[in-house]
Chains A and B, each alone.
Chain A
Amino acid sequence: MLSVSNLHATVGETEILKGLSIDVPAGEVHAIMGPNGAGKSTLSYVLTGRPGYEVTSGTVTLDGEDLLPMAPNERAAKGLFLSFQYPLEIPGVPALTFIRTALNAQLKARGEPEIAAPAFLRLARAKAAELKIDFEMLKRALNVGFSGGEKKRMEIFQMAMLSPRFLILDETDSGLDIDALRIVSDGVNALRSPERAMLVITHYQRLLDYIKPDRVHVLAGGRIVASGGPELALELERDGYDKYARAA
Chain B
Amino acid sequence: MAAVKQTVEHVASLEKYKHGFVTDIEQDFAPKGLNADIVRFISAKKNEPQWMLDWRLDAFERWLAMDEPDWAKVSFPRIDYQDSHYYAAPKEKVGINSLDEVDPDILETYKKLGIPLREQEVLAGVIGSPRYAVDAVFDSVSVVTTFKKELAQVGVIFCSMSEAIREHPELVKQYLGSVVPVSDNYFACLNAAVFSDGSFVYVPPGVRCPMELSTYFRINAENSGQFERTLIIADRQAYVSYLEGCTAPMRDENQLHAAVVELVTMDDAEIKYSTVQNWYPGDPETGKGGIYNFVTKRADCRGDRSKVSWTQVETGSSITWKYPSCILRGEGSSGEFYSIAITNGRQQADTGTKMIHLGANTRSRIISKGISAGKSSNTYRGLVSAHPKAKGARNFTQCDSLLIGKHCAAHTVPYIEARNGHSKFEHEATTTRLSEDQLFYAMQRGLSQEEAVQLLVNGFVKEVLQELPMEFAVEAQKLVAISLEGSVG
**Interface footprint category on B:** 20 to 34
Interface residues of A in 62-101 (CB under 8 A from B): 71-73, 75-77, 81-82, 84, 87-93, 98-99, 101
| Contact status of A72 and B460, CB under 8 A, knowing A51-B3, A88-B438, A105-B451 | no
B435 contacts which chain A residues (CB < 8 A)? Answer: 88
A81 contacts which chain B residues (CB < 8 A)? Answer: 444
B459 touches A48 (CB 8 A): no
Bound CA span A75–B449, Å: 13
A93 touches B444 (CB 8 A): no
Q: Which of B440, B442, B444 contacts A90 (CB 8 A)?
A: B442
Q: Which of A51, A89, A158, A162 contacts B440 (CB 8 A)?
A: A51
B446 touches A88 (CB 8 A): no
Interface residues of A in 104-127 (CB under 8 A from B): 105-106, 109
Interface residues of B in 254-289 (CB under 8 A from A): none
Q: Which residue of A lies closest to B456 (CB)?
A: A90
A87 touches B441 (CB 8 A): yes
B383 at interface by CB-CB < 8 Å? no
Interface Cβ pair total, 8 Å cutoff? 83
A88 touches B447 (CB 8 A): no
Bound CA span A50–B441, Å: 9
Q: Which of B3, B436, B448, B463 contacts A92 (CB 8 A)?
A: B463
Interface residues of A in 135-182 (CB under 8 A from B): 141, 158, 162
Within the complex, the shortest CB–CB distance from A42 to chain B, in Å, comes to 14
B445 touches A98 (CB 8 A): yes
| Contact status of A105 and B448, CB under 8 A, knowing A92-B458, A92-B463, A93-B459 | yes
**Most B-side CB within 10 Å, residue of A51, A89, A158:** A51
A1 at interface by CB-CB < 8 Å? no
B445 touches A162 (CB 8 A): yes
Chain B 427-457, CB-CB to A under 8 Å as 1, else 0, gives 0000000011110111111111101100110
B126 contacts which chain A residues (CB < 8 A)? Answer: none
B462 at interface by CB-CB < 8 Å? yes
A90 touches B459 (CB 8 A): yes
Interface residues of B in 1-30 (CB under 8 A from A): 1-3
A102 contacts which chain B residues (CB < 8 A)? Answer: 442, 445-447
B462 contacts which chain A residues (CB < 8 A)? Answer: 92-93
Contact residues of B with A, CB < 8 Å? 1-3, 435-438, 440-449, 451-452, 455-456, 458-463
Give 7 CB contacts A-B under 8 Å: A51-B1, A73-B448, A73-B452, A76-B445, A90-B441, A98-B445, A105-B448
Query: Shortest 3 CB-CB distances between A and B: which pairs?
Result: A92-B459, A102-B445, A93-B459
